[in-house]
Amino acid sequence: MFETTELNKKNRRNERLVRAVLGTMTGLLVLPVVLILSMLIYKGGPVISFEFLFTSPTNGMTAGGIFPALLGTVLLVVVALLASVPLGVAAAIYLSEYAPDNWTTRAINLAIINLAGVPSIVHALFGVGAFVIFFKFGTSILAASLTLAIMTLPVVIVATRESLQAVPLAFREACWNMGATRWQTIHRVVLPNAITGILTGVILEVSRTAGETAPIMFTGAAFFLPLLPQGVLDQTMALSLHLFVVATQVPGMPERLPYGVALVLISMVLLMNSMSIALRMYLRGKKKW
């Protein structure tokens, strides 16, 4: 009754073929990442040491460490998140839980989508005009971070909104029927269940923000500073800019140094992304409904 026909054989052969093709293409995806990482580890690995990470550059940046740049990147990202996360989460809560479906809301959503598509160099120029000049912050961590914040805002908003909407409507209705206000429902039931999703999105965004060069180049990051920044109105060095400088602007640079810097930068990115993935897997395992 279940003999194999010609049609069966053909289908099974096609299935194997398609599976092989798709699998190979997926495997090819991994190739660039593996190649880049291998190259960086091979060429830049020897440079990495405790001194490299925690001391300042010397000898016209051809020797020494990258600590000021590392610190600078951390500061820039932290301040940028302090600005974009509360604002982004609040906006997403409003859009997801309160906003009526009218033209104003649609315009706001359109604005967010467009903001996400603005090239980083345009963000940079906007940052100079708005924060450095108009608000008179001058070239500073504050100006650079705010520029970065505006870049990350759309992603935070979308990640938050998706996390909120992943919580079923039935839970909200159950609360509303009991006489809870929207806000009571949000902060007791919806938000606690969306937090992990929001965090996953934010952590992912950190890795992107840490690598941006253009937005910080004109607004607060500098090639070389003799002192560490003392406050948000000071300038700072940054890893991404530092990489650009040592790779292209300094004569007599030993070959390994830029690779070392790149390795540190990409390790940060990989670390953040792994945290985000781990968090997402933890989320999936901890099914709450």
Count of CB atoms situated within 10 Å of the CB of 266: 19
Please identify, among the stretches 6-14, 88-96, 157-165, 281-289, the one whose residues bind other proteins according to the rule CB under 8 A: 281-289
Please identify, among the stretches 3-11, 45-53, 186-194, 271-279, the one whose residues bind other proteins according to the rule CB under 8 A: 186-194
* CA–CA distance, 67 with 57 (Å, rounded to integer): 8
Phi, psi of 58 (to 5 degrees): -130, 170
* CA–CA distance, 27 with 237 (Å, rounded to integer): 38
Segment 162-181, which members bind other proteins (CB under 8 A)?
A: 170-171, 173-181
Residue 189 C-beta: closest distance to other proteins, Å:
6
For the record, the structure tokens of 64 come out as 């020494």
User: How many helices (H) and strands (E) in the chain?
Assistant: 12, 2
Coil, strand or helix: which one is 57? strand
Q: Does 289 bind other proteins (CB under 8 A)?
A: yes
Q: Does 105 bind other proteins (CB under 8 A)?
A: no
Please identify, among the stretches 70-78, 131-139, 148-156, 184-192, the one whose residues bind other proteins according to the rule CB under 8 A: 184-192
Which helix (H) or strand (E) element contains residue 63? strand 63-64
Q: Does 285 bind other proteins (CB under 8 A)?
A: no
Q: Closer to other proteins at the Cβ: 180 or 250?
A: 180
Q: Does 184 bind other proteins (CB under 8 A)?
A: yes
Q: Does 51 bind other proteins (CB under 8 A)?
A: no
Q: Does 31 bind other proteins (CB under 8 A)?
A: no
Q: Does 103 bind other proteins (CB under 8 A)?
A: no
Distances (CA, A) of 234 to 71, 98, 138, 225, 241: 13, 40, 9, 10, 16
Strand partners, 57: 64
Q: Closer to other proteins at the Cβ: 182 or 256?
A: 182
Judged by the rule CB under 8 A, the positions of this chain that interact with other proteins are 100-101, 170-171, 173-181, 184, 188-189, 193, 287-289
